[in-house]
Structure 1
Amino acid sequence: MRFLLASWGSLGDLFPFLGLAQKLQARGHEVLLVGPSGWEEHTERAQVPFVAAAPDPWALREVAQLWSQRRWGLEALEALVEKGAYAAALSMAKALLQLAPEYDCLVAHHFAFGGAFASQRAGLPWVTVCLSPVATPSGGLPPPVFPKLPLPFFCRQTLWKMAAGWISRRFDPGFNRLRHSLGLPPARGVLYDYSPKLVLHLYSRILFSPSQDWPSHHRICGYSFYENECEVSPELLAFMERGSPPWVFTLGSTMVARPGRFYVEAYEAAKLSGVRAVLLTGPETQQRFPPDPQILVLARAPHSWLFPRSLAVTHCCGAGTLSKTLRAGRPSVFCPCLFDQPIHARLGELRHFGVTLSSQQWNARRFAQALDRALTPEIVQSVRRAQRELEKENGAQTASQLLEEFAASEKPWKGFQFGQARLEPPHAPATRPVPIAGNDEA
């Protein structure tokens, strides 16, 4: 079979798709991943065919509002959608429409809106992939604001419905302008416009189980891991051989663009605690630290290699970093900032996978105290149990099997009938389309 994959976002949105693509390839299927420019290095390393069809999301780091925590993070969501997702949706939809006639099934990230648009325009069978429990509003989640507030199920469900309604009213007009330019009718709730037949959740039940208010076609598969993130540097190898497991600090691939005092305080916390530490500060950091034989500062390192060899991990609780920490069986100090991170941190805290520090609490003394709490027997035992459970899971394989069953049972439509106008998919191109870059206007 031939699977067309589409994703958009940070490396945490790329790596699970690379793991899924590699598993589909190993099972004898042809795959093509469509995403933003800037992913070429990683797709080449993974040997996954790739078409760049949207601007690089890393450029959004210059948008000040993207880092705002005002209005419970809604200002940051507005910046992400208006400055990034709108343009990506249109350019990705155009690329996917060119490719659709060649493929049996489209598998699209829940935030890659161009996937939904292209499927509905071309009539290609379509599966939505969610990488975070927060992607599906439900009463099973902590409240969308003040996630530590203990509320009964129906209150949480009501709050999530209200949040989803506000989001729809705020963003539907912009998305519907894009839909109109593609010959699609207007829709409601475009931000949550998922496949009506199959939604795959690529995270583990140890973090979140299906909620009682979920639709029946939603399936939790488990995490999809990609191993070959980057090389292990000789410097890191030498440091690890010289002493005890280090305390790792990372802000993932997004928040690292605006670290504030996170790494400055992390450096001092390691000295205060008397433990060795590795600080992963990102490729463009301007911060400099005094040399210390017990502290190693690197731009990046493969989490799948480093985390199992660590003492504990302090991270911002993005979905990808959290999954690697749980698979490593290491306690966490959660330092959530924006988007789905506070909900992930609350879910992890409720399951005793770590302790949480808000961004207002980032200082050396509190980091050191949090490490002591994270290394208590209760948390250490909880993360070891989680590690054993994850060893039994294979999210990429489970998702691949479900995709095979779905694609075999579905037949592409000939087109859509909207009123009197019949919309037919475009003819298949004679050759692969060239990578699409730029910011097309609706």
Structure 2
Amino acid sequence: MSRLVVIVAPGSRGDVQPCIALGRGLDGDRVRVLAAERFRTLVTSHGLDFAPLSADPAEILGSDGGREWTEGRTSATFLRGLRGALAPVMERLLADVHQGAAGADLVLAPTLGFLGAHLGASLGVPDVELHYQPSVPTGAFAHPLVPWAARTGPCGRRLSFRAVDAVAWQVLRPEVDRWRERTLGLPAAGLRGLRRTETPVLCGFSDAVVPRPKDWPARVHVTGYWFLEAPVAWRPDPRLRDFLASGPPPVYVGFGSMRPSEAERTFAAVRTALRRTGLRGLLGTDARVDDDDLLTVGDVPHAWLFPRTAAVVHHGGAGTTAAALRAGVPSLVCPVFSDQPYWGDRVFRLGAGPRPLPLRELTADSLTARLLELSGNLLFRRGAQYVAARLREEDGVARARQVLRSVG
């Protein structure tokens, strides 16, 4: 009998696309994706149901609270900024999630406020956690938000995960507890929150990029990435097609849903660095800057574009990092916040790119030096191609589907 599977995707495009890929792969199930309104067409064009979330991540990141959140230099300021960014929209977000999940037989949701657990308890249905970065306690490495804990030993590294969960819960608890009591008809979860010991976890990343720790429980499944392929009918803009054909592969530079606080200065530095190094560039920006050696591009599927580039300079979002690695091209990660420094470090340690260059430190001089390193060190391409070969052997959606068939 067909189930209604509800997938909660409250993040940016890098979070929504894997959910669409996962939903498309759930043969025999009806799938509804909860995401910001601007993703409606993207979701429905792939044959999935859609329900809107009024909280748009782009608007959140552009708000005063969002800028404070993304510009936090430490894990403590990041978590404090989380409340400032989400508090104004949390009540609406929770109402939308409740309405969108009506009738669900299975709920898949990220760890944000343990939304899936609350919905599952209210509806009397199972839930599954979706992780886009390692978030289950382990002694093998520290939580991506607390990199300094790597020096503390296995116990300290394990505690870093519990500490992040505890702080994040206290940040979101007031709104979530009110939601539980007033809307879901559940008692407040309280200071200690929810203890998750049996809930299945789907990790939408690859063991080739993050080796699975031996101390993770069996309920944690590292499936591989959930890649969304470019639509069969998709065709590139003639400007882009002609530019790619007119010379050697360019370097793509884009920062996804991130909005640099000084975007004009940032992209001016990018253009200068590209010209200094004699590299052609594709700039992922709304500003129109077309020249013989530079072209601005809008929404182009990474799965199509990245294999046609010489290298990728990006913000280090989990989805963009995965797409670059799968394309087998070297990357320079310019992280802004959250787990982006972690993914930049993983690219470096995999030998697929140089050390990360934080976006706030990006200048014409610093980027010129990194581009020379990126384009001149053939070992980076070799490292990226090695990881790409492993990723192409995986089918993360198929492995996730196999796990979900046993749930409920």
* TM-score by shorter chain over 0.5: yes
TM-fit CA distance, 1:86: 4.7
Aligned to 2:323, what secondary structure does the other structure show? helix
TM-fit CA distance, 1:198: 0.9
Match of 1:251 in 2: 255
**Whole-Å separation in 1 of the counterparts to 2:192 and 2:322:** 28
Amino acid at match of 2:347: G
Match of 1:4 in 2: 6
**Whole-Å separation in 2 of the counterparts to 1:44 and 1:65:** 31
**Aligned residues of 1:89 and 1:112 also touching (Cα < 8 A):** no
Q: 1:338-353 alignment to 2 at 5 Å?
A: 338-353=337-352
Match of 1:428 in 2: none
**Aligned residues of 2:255 and 2:315 also touching (Cα < 8 A):** yes
Q: 1:37-52 alignment to 2 at 5 Å?
A: 37-52=37-52
Structure with larger RCO (C-alpha < 8 A, sep 6+): 1
Amino acid at match of 2:24: Q
Amino acid at match of 1:219: H
Match of 1:110 in 2: 111
**Whole-Å separation in 2 of the counterparts to 1:148 and 1:234:** 49
Q: Give deviations 1:24-56, integer Å, cap 9, x for gaps.
A: 1xx333222223322112113222221224433
TM-fit CA distance, 1:359: 2.5
The reply on whether 1:399 has 2:406 as its aligned counterpart is no
Identity score, percent: 25
TM-fit CA distance, 1:112: 7.4
| Structure 1: unaligned runs, 5 residues or longer | 411-442
**Whole-Å separation in 1 of the counterparts to 2:167 and 2:66:** 19
Match of 1:225 in 2: 227
**Aligned residues of 1:142 and 1:346 also touching (Cα < 8 A):** no
Greater shift in the superposed pair: 353-362 or 235-244: 353-362
**Aligned residues of 1:22 and 1:48 also touching (Cα < 8 A):** yes
Greater shift in the superposed pair: 63-72 or 292-301: 63-72
Runs of 4 or more off by more than 6 Å in structure 1? 189-193
- Flag the 1:38–1:240 CA change in 2: closer, same or farther, 3 A: same
Match of 1:418 in 2: none
- Flag the 1:204–1:337 CA change in 2: closer, same or farther, 3 A: same
Match of 1:199 in 2: 201
Aligned to 1:70, what secondary structure does the other structure show? coil
**Whole-Å separation in 2 of the counterparts to 1:257 and 1:35:** 25
Q: Give deviations 1:260-315, integer Å, cap 9, x for gaps.
A: 6332211111101101110011xxx3x454x4201101233221111001111000
Amino acid at match of 2:238: P
Match of 2:86 in 1: 81
- Flag the 1:170–1:5 CA change in 2: closer, same or farther, 3 A: closer
Aligned length: 395
Match of 2:282 in 1: 278
Correspondent of 1:240 among 235, 244, 251: 244
Match of 2:210 in 1: 208
Aligned to 1:38, what secondary structure does the other structure show? helix
**Whole-Å separation in 2 of the counterparts to 1:272 and 1:54:** 44
**Whole-Å separation in 2 of the counterparts to 1:241 and 1:174:** 53
Match of 1:380 in 2: 381
- Flag the 1:191–1:111 CA change in 2: closer, same or farther, 3 A: farther
- Flag the 1:242–1:369 CA change in 2: closer, same or farther, 3 A: same
Amino acid at match of 1:387: A
TM-fit CA distance, 1:256: 6.4
Match of 1:439 in 2: none
Q: 1:19-58 alignment to 2 at 5 Å?
A: 19-24=21-26, 27-58=27-58
TM-score of the two chains, using structure 2 as the length reference: 0.88
The reply on whether 1:92 has 2:97 as its aligned counterpart is yes
Match of 2:129 in 1: 128
